[in-house]
């Protein structure tokens, strides 16, 4: 465990750990996930970055997560909102959301985002990264892009975000494969993935605040160390009320539309 202020000591060997990523200032989705985590039982929370950007409630999201999370790394939107960052890599809607977020953030929350560590962060056997192991800003969509992280991580379990796609990749006998969680037409709320000895995993909890994998429900995972499995969860939330808040804040229309389509 690194001694960063955002990583407290947790013992993952005894626990169910909730992993949250890409919340993107969507308080409604976060509240639904936290309620669900309470009901399912989780002993610690970990966050893989992108607290803010896109959504209408950056301060409320930070207020909640900073008191609850045992370990946190930053995402590219957290860095963009809290430091002098060149926004050339952001599309117009993302850029105007970053600029809006900068104006909204309370000083203490701006300061909180600015001091978040970049991944990789090692937390009791788990590697946490926002994008890829070797580069926090790299997108990992396909097995070939996951290979470096799968090989470089010190342990068998790495968690990443950034793509907003729930799922991930395995490395077994020198072959990297995508994990197929479920058929896209099957509307289940949880898929359980057994963790097998001799296999390395790079797993994405999906996005809480702006899913892009075709399922509009908020996404997260619970790692169950006792049972050696990872649970991939989807929970519904009140998307309409977030779209209303986006309109009130005069944030770009497209940000609301993609919440309902999940793309």
Nearer residue to Zn ion within complex by CB, 15 or 45: 45
Contact residues: Zn ion, CB under 5 A: 22, 50
Min dist CB 26 to Zn ion, Å, is 11
Q: Which is nearer to Zn ion, 22 or 28 (CB)?
A: 22
Instruction: Rank residues 158 and 207 by Cβ distance to Zn ion and give the closer one.
Output: 207
- Integer angstrom CA distances of residue 195 from 158, 175, 211, 228, 229: 12, 16, 24, 5, 5
Q: How far is the CB of 56 from Zn ion (least distance, A)?
A: 16
Sign of CA dihedral 248, 98, 136, 59: negative
Cβ contact 165:156 at 8 Å: no
Read off φ and ψ for residue 233, nearest 5 degrees: -105, 150
- Min dist CB 1 to Zn ion, Å, is 25
Residue 24 or 36 having the CB closest to Zn ion: 24
The minimum distance between CB 175 and Zn ion, in angstroms, equals: 29
Alpha-carbon distance of 237 to 219, in angstroms, equals: 11
**At its nearest, how many Å lie between Zn ion and the CB of residue 70?**
21
CB of 163 to Zn ion, least distance (A): 8
Residue with tokens 């788990």: 126
Element (H, E) at 19: strand 16-20
Identity of the residue, 156 or 168, whose beta carbon is nearer to Zn ion in the bound complex: 168
- In the complex with Zn ion, which residue's Cβ is closer, 12 or 204? 204
Are residues 125 and 12 in contact, defined by beta-carbon separation less than 8 angstroms?
A: yes
Which residue, 164 or 234, has its beta carbon nearer to Zn ion? 164
CB of 23 to Zn ion, least distance (A): 9
Compute and round to an integer the Cα radius of gyration of the chain: 17
44-76 core/surface letters (b: 16 or more CB in 10 A; e: else): bbbbbbbbbbbbbbbbbbbbbbbebbbbbbbbb
- CA pair distance 83, 263, nearest whole angstrom: 28
Tokens of 230: 């990872």
């Amino acid at each position: 465990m690194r001694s960063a202020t955002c990583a407290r000591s947790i013992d993952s060997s005894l626990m169910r750990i909730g992993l949250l990523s890409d919340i993107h200032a969507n308080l409604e989705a976060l509240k639904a996930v936290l309620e669900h985590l309470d009901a399912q039982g989780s002993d610690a929370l970990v966050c893989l970055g992108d607290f803010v950007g896109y959504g209408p409630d950056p301060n409320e999201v930070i207020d909640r997560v900073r008191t609850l999370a045992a370990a946190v790394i930053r995402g590219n939107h957290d860095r963009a909102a809290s430091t002098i960052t060149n926004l050339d890599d952001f599309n117009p809607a993302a850029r105007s959301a970053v600029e809006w977020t900068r104006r909204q953030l309370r000083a203490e929350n701006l300061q909180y985002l600015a001091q978040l560590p970049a991944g990789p962060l090692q937390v009791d056997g788990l590697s946490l990264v926002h994008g890829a192991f070797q580069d926090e800003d790299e997108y990992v969509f396909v097995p070939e892009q996951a290979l470096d992280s799968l090989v470089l991580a010190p342990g068998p379990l790495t968690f990443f975000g950034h793509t907003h796609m729930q799922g991930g990749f395995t490395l077994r006998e020198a072959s990297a494969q995508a994990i197929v969680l479920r058929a896209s037409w099957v509307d289940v709320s949880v898929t359980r993935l057994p963790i097998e000895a001799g296999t390395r995993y790079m797993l994405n909890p999906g996005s809480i605040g702006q899913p892009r994998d075709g399922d509009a429900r908020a996404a997260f995972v619970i790692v169950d160390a006792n049972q050696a499995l990872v649970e991939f969860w989807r929970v519904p939330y009140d998307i309409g009320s977030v779209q209303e808040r986006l309109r009130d804040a005069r944030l770009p229309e497209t940000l609301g539309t993609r919440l309902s389509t999940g793309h």
